[in-house]
Amino acid sequence: MPRFAYFEGAIRPIEEARISVRTHALHYGTGWFGGLRGYWNQEQGQMYVFRIVDHFRRFLNSGKLLMANLPYTPEELAAITLDLLRAEGYQEDCYIRPLGYKADEVIGVRIHDLHDAVAIFATPFGRYIEDEEGARVCFSSWRRVDDTALPPRGKLSGSYVNSALIKSEAVLNGFDEALVLNQDGHVAEGSAENVFILRDGVLITPPVHSNLLEGITRRSVMELAQSELGVPVVEREIDRSEVYVADEAFFCGTGVQVVAIASVDHRPIGSGKIGPVTRSLRDLYFRVVRGQEAKYRQWLSPVYEEVAVG
């Protein structure tokens, strides 16, 4: 359980971070959020937050979609988060949740002329999907929200009703997760993660205009696959049936990390087990986020003071 939260401009005991039932964002979904992970490295006695400034840049952009004008830079929000994590003193993996919201206690649907607030807390966190080497996946009967109605490129609280409909349908039908098609009938992403398929040695992922969240893990995985594994990556539209005949498929995202897809709609993907490219990428991803790959240390922000070794 978290002991602290950043709330109303200061790090406070989490019991003090409470809002009214009249809060605008609670009624109308006029909030936005982020999701980051802190990785504990036991040997180094260090916690690393993955791509903290990139996450806060997207967080502020999500707010922009709701006409929020927050008096913070991404770097300032990153510094607050590192202070918060030092206050918590976690020595285990954790998940960090920044939340922006229209804080007025007022009735009336709109996004302008309202006050914007920011809260941040961090909580110990492990797996998001139980079987990380073989998720059982279906195609959702829902469609992904469309940019013409509710922009999926922002992490807007209201649009997570769409994600929740997708996830619950999948889980109640016995699956771990779902893929969702966009309004054009092409693959968009999972309920809260981006997707890649492998065909003939090429990784393919839907482009940013396919109505998906512009994932930071997605971007990282693209770079790692190309630079470190020599696997080409192509961004293009993917049909539902193309997933069925893929050699490998996986989800990626901050929460899910890198999770192999074993089957889709009861059809095994490739061998029906985690494939070699997914395994290599997944192993590399975990080494990178945990601070075991010097080349990618610039993606990591250490939480605790770094002690010189030797």
Give the shortest CB-45-to-ligand PMP separation in angstroms: 26
Q: Does 177 sit near ligand PMP (CB under 6 A)?
A: no
Is residue 102 part of the annotated active site? The answer reads: no
> Which of 30, 163, 210, 257 is the binder for ligand PMP (CB under 6 A)?
163
Q: Does 258 sit near ligand PMP (CB under 6 A)?
A: no
> Which of 88, 104, 132, 193 is the binder for ligand PMP (CB under 6 A)?
193
> Which of 213, 264, 277, 281 is the binder for ligand PMP (CB under 6 A)?
213
Which residues, in sequence order, are CB contacts of 217 under 8 Å at separation 6+? 193, 194, 252, 253, 254, 257, 258, 285
Q: Does 189 sit near ligand PMP (CB under 6 A)?
A: yes
In the complex with ligand PMP, the residue whose CB is nearer, 23 or 254, is 254
Give the shortest CB-163-to-ligand PMP separation in angstroms: 6
Q: What pairs with residue 71 in β-bridges?
A: none
Q: Does 263 sit near ligand PMP (CB under 6 A)?
A: no
Q: Does 217 sit near ligand PMP (CB under 6 A)?
A: yes
User: Catalytic residue among 155, 167, 273, 295, which?
Assistant: 155
Q: Does 29 sit near ligand PMP (CB under 6 A)?
A: no
Query: Would you give the distance in Å from CA 232 to the centre of its chain?
Result: 23
CA distance 175 to 140: 11
Q: Does 254 sit near ligand PMP (CB under 6 A)?
A: yes
CA distance 275 to 35: 28
Q: Does 216 sit near ligand PMP (CB under 6 A)?
A: yes
Give the shortest CB-170-to-ligand PMP separation in angstroms: 14
Q: Does 82 sit near ligand PMP (CB under 6 A)?
A: no
Q: Does 84 sit near ligand PMP (CB under 6 A)?
A: no
Q: Which amino acid is at 18?
A: R
Give the shortest CB-137-to-ligand PMP separation in angstroms: 14
* Closest to 31 in 3D by CA, of 91, 88, 132, 114: 114
**In Å, what is the CA distance from 182 to each residue of 158, 186, 246, 250, 274?**
17, 6, 19, 18, 26
Q: Does 281 sit near ligand PMP (CB under 6 A)?
A: no
Which positions touch ligand PMP (CB under 6 A)?
35, 163, 189, 192-194, 213, 215-218, 253-255
Question: What residues are annotated to the active site?
Answer: 155
